[in-house]
Amino acid sequence: MNNDSMVIYLAILIGISVLVLGLILFKSLFFSAKNESILKFIQQKNYDDAIKNLRKLVQKDDSNSFAHFCLGEVYFHLEHYDWALPHFRKVIQLNKYNQDVQEIKTRERLAEIFLHYKQLEEAQKELLLILKLKPNDYNYYYRVGDIFYQRHYPDNAGAYYQKALEINPNHVDSLFRIGEILYHSKRTSEALDHLKQCININPACSKAHYYIGMIYLDSRNYNHAVQEFSVSVRDAEYRVQSLYQKGRALMESGHSEKGVFELERGLFYVTENDSASLALRYLLAKGYEETRNLASALEQWEYISQINPDYRDVKKKLNDFS
């Protein structure tokens, strides 16, 4: 090959290389712009246009992890979890991650969807896989522990709460859960220590005040129990049971009228006829009995009997007053 031929050959080769690189760059820029427009649709909550464009991408290339991830995100935000699930699963299957498609975020979404459907073990598996990627994140240890707690494995739950505390000693929720587990295990001294740590970090931690109140009530330290329930009653989640236990503490300490007042407050917040509300009504009837308000006591027994005719000694009470 002479020099002229070599020059022509190199020129052609360089031209082809430039053309290929140009096409690759053009394709990259085109899809980058396309992705940005889709992300903009999602940010603006223009989900219809986002879905339309994403479906086209998936139809052209089912291995497009970006399209599957974004479809999962859109359906997740629309609360169509059954539609979001297969797209997030596809992302995991493709195993192609980048700045826009992150494994942790994908597994987070899967865990949230499984929790929505009460598939606790599946959610837990996803969180454990995230822990392998983020081994120093106390929040994931707490969340794994919480699922063990919901699955009624308190020892396993406690171990993960403890790991969360090793990373963040001031994590109130982990301290509280350990305190709660210890309380139900009758290890009241250790429970009290953890619960008081919660209060030291967050004085407004109502659920910790509630269990501290229960520990005082169990030991007949009525004054301190009443003080704790007076704080925990501020939390709507603990309001009814706090008023019930406060009323109980007052009645057991000989203050029946004050106890009745707190139980009546509790009854005001009752929204359903569950076991807790029946227990409150029963104790309230006892308070009415002790304060000689027999008509009101009878009213509560009759109400309880309509819900559960065999509740404790209600049938006997009604027979005695008939």
Local confidence pLDDT in tens for the 322 residues of the chain: 555 555 555 555 554 554 444 444 434 433 455 577 777 767 777 778 888 888 988 999 999 999 999 999 999 999 999 999 999 999 999 999 998 899 999 999 999 999 999 999 999 999 999 999 999 999 999 999 999 999 999 999 999 999 999 999 999 999 999 999 999 999 999 999 999 999 999 999 999 999 999 999 999 999 999 999 999 999 999 999 999 999 999 999 999 999 999 999 999 999 899 999 999 999 999 999 999 999 999 999 999 999 999 999 999 989 988 7
pLDDT score for 44: 75
CB 272 within 8 A of CB 307: no
Full-model pTM: 0.82
- SS3 label, residue 310: coil
Q: What is the DSSP string of 174-193?
A: HHHHHHHHHHHTT-HHHHHH
What domains, with CATH codes, occur in the chain? 46-135 (1.25.40.10)
CB 202 within 8 A of CB 172: yes
Residue type, 286: K
CB 143 within 8 A of CB 175: no
Q: How far is CA 258 from the centre of its chain?
A: 36
**Burial, 261: exposed, middle or buried (Cβ in 10 Å; 0-12, 13-18, 19+)?**
middle
Dihedral over alpha carbons 200, 201, 206, 209 (to 10 degrees): -20
CB 230 within 8 A of CB 239: no
CA distance 231 to 234: 6
